Amino acid sequence: MHLRTSAIVLAIRPHGESGAIVRALTAEAGLLAGYVRGGRSRQHRPVLQPGNVILGDWRARTEEQLPALVAELVHSRAPMFREPLPAAAFDWATALTAASLPEGQPYPPVHAALGGLLDAIEAAPAARGWAVALVRYELLLLAMLGFGLDLERCAATGTTENLAFVSPKSGMAVSRAGAGGYESRLLPLPAFVRTGGAAEWNDILDGLRLTGHFLERDLLHGRAAEVLAARSRLVDRLNRAVA
């Protein structure tokens, strides 16, 4: 196995005395793990940061062997980790991706969307400039992994108009008329989720509640649920930014 390509660093785990196992997302091969010799050294630490873009060279003698990885820095997002809100967003987006995707399966739309989201956070540290993109990225991950929401028509009436809620059980949209007094049991459906465009803060937070419910239920269960702590930190910071 030999692959040399650009990748987004997602996660770094210590291995041995000074090495590290790095998981990174490529466009053509999906999520890949690799062992970086001396990966925890002062030399490698600035390169192996979640969100950084690297040129990775993965080599292994067999498909079953963990590849050795040599990483060259292409673009560093390390300066953004000095800002609490962008840092929390980077932590969550990369941890979510690493925990959700199976290894070795390409998801080019996910790679492109994650790169776009990280670029947006870097370009506009204020969350107003990227929070909508974060909700859309979470929706994309759900859809690509087989847990997409059905937001085209009302589950109760079949109408395509006045869709205002989502069933937490089925993931299907529900209209105001179809809610029939059960609004408190449903999740709000912000208009921007279906139609695009900008959104007010209340709608963004509703969008995060919507995606958070299905991420926790369908993707982040078992050991992967540990990454939800990163999402909680981000949402807390967003709520403080709005207040």
Question: What CATH number does residue 31 fall under?
Answer: 2.40.50.140
Residues 142 and 218 in one domain: yes
Q: For residues 139 and 22, what is the distance between their CA atoms, to the nearest angstrom?
A: 26
Claim to verify: residue 214 and residue 118 sit in the same structural domain: yes
Contact indicator for 114, 25 with CB cutoff of 8 Å: yes
pTM: 0.93
In contact, 22 and 36? CB cutoff 8 Å: yes
Number of domains in the chain: 2
Q: Which of 76, 95, 120 is the last residue of a domain?
A: 76
Q: Is there a single domain that holds both residue 91 and residue 51?
A: no
Q: Domain of residue 89: give its range.
A: 79-151+189-243
Which of 19, 52, 76 is the endpoint of a domain?
76
The residues with which 165 forms a beta bridge, in sequence order, are 174, 188
Give the pLDDT of the chain (243 residues) as one tens digit per residue: 899 999 999 999 988 888 999 999 999 999 999 999 988 888 888 899 999 999 999 999 887 789 999 999 999 998 989 989 999 999 999 999 999 999 999 999 999 999 999 999 999 877 888 999 999 999 999 999 999 999 999 999 999 999 999 999 999 999 999 998 899 999 999 999 998 888 899 999 999 999 999 999 999 987 677 788 899 999 998 988 876
Tell me which DSSP letter residue 66 carries: P
Q: Domain check: are 128 and 236 in the same one? A: yes
Q: Are 201 and 243 within 8 A, CB to CB?
A: no
CA–CA gap between residue 70 and residue 84 (Å, rounded): 30
Q: Are residues 50 and 33 in the same domain?
A: yes
In sequence order, which residues have a C-beta less than 8 Å from that of residue 89 and are 6 or more positions away? 121, 127, 130, 134, 234
User: Same domain for 113 and 216?
Assistant: yes
